[in-house]
């Protein structure tokens, strides 16, 4: 997080990182719906859509992955500084570039969507993990390319043990406690000494 007080900025970047199949997109969609119910300005940046529309020329080398993450961070920050709640669901496997975003972007909140590899593989309706294990897909995160889990995420959603609703409720509780949601100043003042504590089950 930056040193800026959360009450000075209505925008925020919720950066959901985790393995393919961990539940990032599902949580992001549900969270977007919950926030829109409160008439809040929200934009969701999904990893697959970004690859299709913004980063078509990039491959899956470490350098290309980092470039993709930085592009998404740039777009997210433009929206954030104009008061938009930005939900990013992106594998973003490398810790260094995520930490770079944390140190340079306003109101960056890292949400670790955590699920064991075997759970992610069991959920894989597209069969991507099977193709990666058979060698049909190269440089697949979690198989032949590493995923570097966050060491100190702001929020952790353990989706093998939590329902989508529970994970989203956890994020909403954090936002209220941190004072990012309209009408939640009472949470921020009452919990000023713990508003940014890391939340995990």
In a domain? residue 201: no
Active-site pick, 63, 92, 134, 189 = 92
Q: Residue 139 maps to which CATH number?
A: 3.40.50.300
Cα gap 185→172, rounded to integer Å: 14
In a domain? residue 199: no
DSSP secondary structure code for residue 145 in this structure? B
Per residue in 45-74, pLDDT tens?
998 888 777 777 888 889 999 999 999 999
Mean pLDDT of 91-107: 96
In a domain? residue 67: yes
What domain range includes position 18? 9-190
Count structural domains, the chain.
Answer: 1
In a domain? residue 35: yes
Mean pLDDT of 100-122: 96
167 noted as active-site residue = no
Mean of the per-residue pLDDT values for the chain?
85
- pLDDT value at position 182? 60
Name, in order, each residue with C-beta under 8 angstroms of 171's C-beta and a sequence gap of 6 or more: 14, 27, 31, 111, 155, 157
In a domain? residue 200: no
Rounded to two decimals, the pTM is 0.84
């Amino acid at each position: 997080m930056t040193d800026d007080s959360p009450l000075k900025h209505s925008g925020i970047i919720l950066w959901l990182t985790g393995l393919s199949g961990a539940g990032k997109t599902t949580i992001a969609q549900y969270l977007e719906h919950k926030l829109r119910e409160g008439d809040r300005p929200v934009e969701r940046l999904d990893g697959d859509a970004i690859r299709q529309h913004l980063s078509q020329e990039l491959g899956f080398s470490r350098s290309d992955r980092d470039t993709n993450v930085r592009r998404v961070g740039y777009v997210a920050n433009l929206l954030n500084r104009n008061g938009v709640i930005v939900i990013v669901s992106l594998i973003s496997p490398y810790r260094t570039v995520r930490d770079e975003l944390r140190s340079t972007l306003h109101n960056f909140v890292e949400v670790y969507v955590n699920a064991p590899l075997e759970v992610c593989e069991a959920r894989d309706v597209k069969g991507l993990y099977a193709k990666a294990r058979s060698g049909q897909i190269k440089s697949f995160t979690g198989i032949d390319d590493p995923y570097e889990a966050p060491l100190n995420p702001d929020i952790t959603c353990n989706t093998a043990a939590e329902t989508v609703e529970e994970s989203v409720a956890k994020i909403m509780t954090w936002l209220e406690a941190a004072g990012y949601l309209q009408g939640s100043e009472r949470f921020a003042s009452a919990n000023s000494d713990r508003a940014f504590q890391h939340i995990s089950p």
